[in-house]
Structure 1
Amino acid sequence: MSSIVIVRPDETWPAQYEKTAETVHGILGSTAVRVDHIGSTSVPGLPAKDILDIQATVATEPDLDEAAQLLVAADWELRPPRRDHPVPGLPGDEGQWVKRIVVEPMYRRRVNLHIRVDGRANQRYALLFRDYLRAHPDTAAAYGEFKRRAASLPFDGVGDYADLKDPVCDLIYLPAEEWATRTGWSA
């Protein structure tokens, strides 16, 4: 059994992201269309695992492997999965959910770097989810409470924790889509 540790929000997470994003930009160069802070550490006041989630967006699917290889050459480690879970109501096409994930070099600040293709459903999901929680602090607080309670359950690994969180994130994401339409949100 592994334990998931959810920590109190850290006001330095944005600065830690900025420093890591500079490194990622330096490695990926023009292969990355953009690099964004995503996940719970990107939402002010939201408890999280003390691991920065960052999304590097690339222009095309072949660029996924190019970006991953550039990072591997810089001592980052390529990890599974090679796709995100499909979200009910969004395109079911496998290509919409493809990604690569790499983690930081040993002894560096913990990072999950998600590499996704520009304009794909999973790339948009990460940005809209973040922005919706930033604009809806009560929803973020409820999500934080869910994460704390979920982390107290026994898990065989982080993958089991993520599998439990996925449908809850989808429940937040679906109204986020309506909010995006109403407000004219764009990534």
Structure 2
Amino acid sequence: MSAIAIVNPDPTWAAQYDKTAQVISNILGDTVVRVDHIGSTSVPNLAAKDILDIQATVAVESELDDAVQLLTAADWEARPPRRDHPVPGLPRDEFQWVKRLVVEPMYRRRVNLHLRVIGRANQRYALLFRDYLRAHPDTAAAYGEFKRRAATLPLESVGEYADLKDPVCDLIYLPAEDWAARTGWSA
């Protein structure tokens, strides 16, 4: 049995994000420059884990820990500091992939809150990936089918699922960069 459960798209995910983003914005105030719905629940009609992925963007790296302190004071749970996986073709500098991850207070709606620095490769990646899938529903559907099939594998952890999914996301991201250049997309 897999550790991952992929569910059908929920048309209320956007409204759930709006409510949760307001809570996050109230906690973080001026510490963040923006809060965005990212990940599969941010793409209409895309199957996903029933966990909202939200990105809170700070202006400078030192504010990552400030944001974590504010959130933990409000009963959110901080995960150990980490980095996103470097994407082929994007900067390899480790500072481009630094983030913090915080999850919702106990007994609340499941949320993975990714804290990233504005203008860094990982902050832009999450937004471009989302917008590309929103603009390309056939690609989103194929990605959803991959996730459904991956979730049927005997995976023992969410980490194994992420390791399986990351290269697929990177393959989607490559044409997303071309699309962004052609359309003038910006984060």
- TM-score normalised by structure 2 residue count: 0.98
User: Aligned partner of 2:180: which letter?
Assistant: A
The runs of 4+ residues in structure 1 deviating greater than 4 Å are none
Partner of 2:68: 68
- Contact kept in structure 1, 2:2 and 2:151, CA below 8 Å: no
Name the CA distance, whole Å, in 1 between partners of 2:167 and 2:6.
Answer: 19
C-alpha contact (below 8 Å) 1:2/1:158 kept by paired residues: no
Tell me the C-alpha RMSD between the 2 structures.
Answer: 0.9
- Structure 2 equivalent of residue 164 of structure 1: 164
Alpha-carbon distance in structure 1 between the residues aligned to 2:3 and 2:81:
20
In the alignment, which residue of structure 2 is the partner of 1:180? Answer: 180
Asked whether the equivalents of residues 39 and 52 of structure 2 are also in contact (C-alpha less than 8 Å), the reply is: yes
Q: CA deviation at 1:79?
A: 1.0
Does the Cα contact within 8 Å between 2:35 and 2:57 map onto a contact in 1? yes
**Greater Cα shift, 50-59 or 2-11:** 2-11
Offset, 1:80: 3.5
Deviation, 1:66, is 0.5
Q: Take 1:2 and 1:77, find their aligned partners in 2: how far apart are those partners?
A: 25
2:39 is the alignment partner of 1:12: no
Separation (CA, whole Å) in 1 of partners of 2:141 and 2:79: 30
CA–CA distance in 2 between the matches of 1:167 and 1:121? 16
Amino acid across the alignment from 1:153? L
Cα shift at 1:90: 0.2
Counterpart residue number, 2:145: 145
What does residue 93 of structure 2 align with? 93
Quick one: distance in 2 between partners of 1:50 and 1:135?
A: 22
How many residue pairs get matched? 187
Q: Deviations over 1:88-119 (max 9, x none)?
A: 00000000000000000000000000000000
**1:2 CA displacement:** 4.8
Which ranges in structure 2 are unaligned for 5 or more consecutive residues?
none
- Pair 1:35 & 2:35 matched: yes
State the 1:155 CA deviation: 1.2
Aligned to 1:52: 52
CA distance in 1, matches of 2:80, 2:47: 25
Name the structure 2 match of 1:122: 122
- Quote the sequence identity (%): 82
- Output the amino acid matched with 1:75: D
**Aligned residue identity for 1:107:** Y
Distance between the aligned counterparts of 1:22 and 1:133, measured in 2? Answer: 25
- Mapped to 1, the partners of 2:2 and 2:70 lie a distance apart of 31
Is contact 2:7–2:49 with CA below 8 Å preserved after alignment?
Answer: yes
CA contact (8 A) 2:82 2:98 kept: yes
Give the TM-score, by structure 1 length. Answer: 0.98
1: CA distance, partners of 2:42 / 2:87: 21
- The 3-state SS of whatever aligns with 1:86 is coil
Superposition deviation, residue 63 in structure 1: 0.5
Partner of 1:11, secondary structure, is coil
